[in-house]
Amino acid sequence: MSNQLQALRDITTVVADTGDIEAIKKYQPVDATTNPSLLLKAAEMEQYRSHLENAVAWAKEQSDDADQQIIDAGDKLAVTIGTDIVNIVPGRISTEVDARLSFDTQGSIEKAHKLIALYKEAGIDKSRILIKLASTWEGIKAAEHLEKEGINCNLTLLFSFAQAQACAEAGAYLISPFVGRILDWYKAKTGKSEYAANEDPGVLSVTKIYNYYKEHGYKTVVMGASFRNIGEITELAGCDRLTISPGLLEELSNTDAPLDVKLKDTGATSAPGKPLDEAAFRWELNQDPMATEKLSEGIRNFAADQVKLETLLKSYL
C-alpha cells in the first residue's frame, strides 16, 4: 500500500507551502508557495544569510534612499528565494505582493510588474510565476488587470464564497481558500474544540467553492491552503491543488491508511449567474463575520511580518 502522500499525488497536484529549500527537495512538490511569514522564517535561517547580504547590496546599487533600499531589498530577497525554489520544482512559485498594498489596485499592479521584471532578470519566465494578492476587491481588480496582460495570479486570504465568486468572474488563474484559519475562527467563537473532517467549516467552504466552479465551468484553479491537520487534507482529496506545510507532508508520508477521492469534476451543468459588482461584493463580505475578521487579521499579520523582515534587512545596511 502506498502512503497517503503518494496516493494524494495521484489525484491532486501537491504544492509545498514553505520557503525552505531543503524541505522542497525532500518532498518534491509540483509547485511551491511563499508569503511574508514564510519568507521571514526562511530569512532567519543561517543558510539564507548570503541571500540577505546580496539583496541589500543590490538594493544599494538601485537607490541612495535608505527607505527605498529596504523596499527593493525585500523584493529582491523574495525573488531570489523564489528563483531558488523554481529551479527545483517543475511547476510554479507563488510570490506575494506586499500586504500593505491590499487596498491599492494600481500599487499592486506596479509591484507585480516589478516582481515579474526581477524574475526575468534572474532568467525566470512569467509562465513559472504566480503573483499572490489578497482577495480584497482591490486585489481582485488588480488580478483581473494582470491576467489580461498574461500575468497569472494566486488570490490568497480567501475565506468566503463572495470572494471566490468575484475571483472567478475576474478570471483569476488560482485561488487559495484558507481551510485551517476558518476552523480556527469557528473553534474560538463556538467553544467547540473538535470537528470531524467532513464537518470542518473550512473543508465545507472549499468543497462548496470547488463544486460551484466546476458546475458553472469556471477555469480558476482551487488550491486549498492553511491546513491544521491531515484530516482536512484527505477530506479534500481530488481538489485541483493543495498547498501543504512540510510538517503535514511528513505526516501524510508516514500514514498508510487508504485515501478516497472526495472532490470530483463532473463537468459544467449550468451557466454562471449575475456577476458581483463592488457594492454586492462588499455587502456579502460584510455579512460574513468570519471572512471579514480573518481577511483583516491575515492582512495585518502579513504586513507585520513584512515589517519584521524589513527590520532584519535594515541590520544589513
Question: Cα angle vertex 56, ends 52, 58, to 5°?
Answer: 115
3-state secondary structure the chain: CCCHHHHHHCCCEEEEECCCHHHHHHHCCCEEECCHHHHHHHHCCHHHHHHHHHHHHHHHHHCCCHHHHHHHHHHHHHHHHHHHHHCCCCCCEEEECCHHHCCCHHHHHHHHHHHHHHHHHCCCCHHHEEEEEECCHHHHHHHHHHHHCCCCEEEEEECCHHHHHHHHHCCCCEEEEEHHHHHHHHHHHHCCCCCCHHHCHHHHHHHHHHHHHHHHCCCCEEEEECCCCHHHHHCCCCCCEEEECHHHHHHHHCCCCCCCCCCCCCCCCCCCCCCCCHHHHHHHHHCCHHHHHHHHHHHHHHHHHHHHHHHHHHCCC
Q: What's the CA gap between 304 and 108, in Å, rounded?
A: 18
Q: Which of 111, 126, 132, 262 is catalytic?
A: 132
Does residue 132 have an active-site annotation?
Answer: yes
Catalytic residues: 132
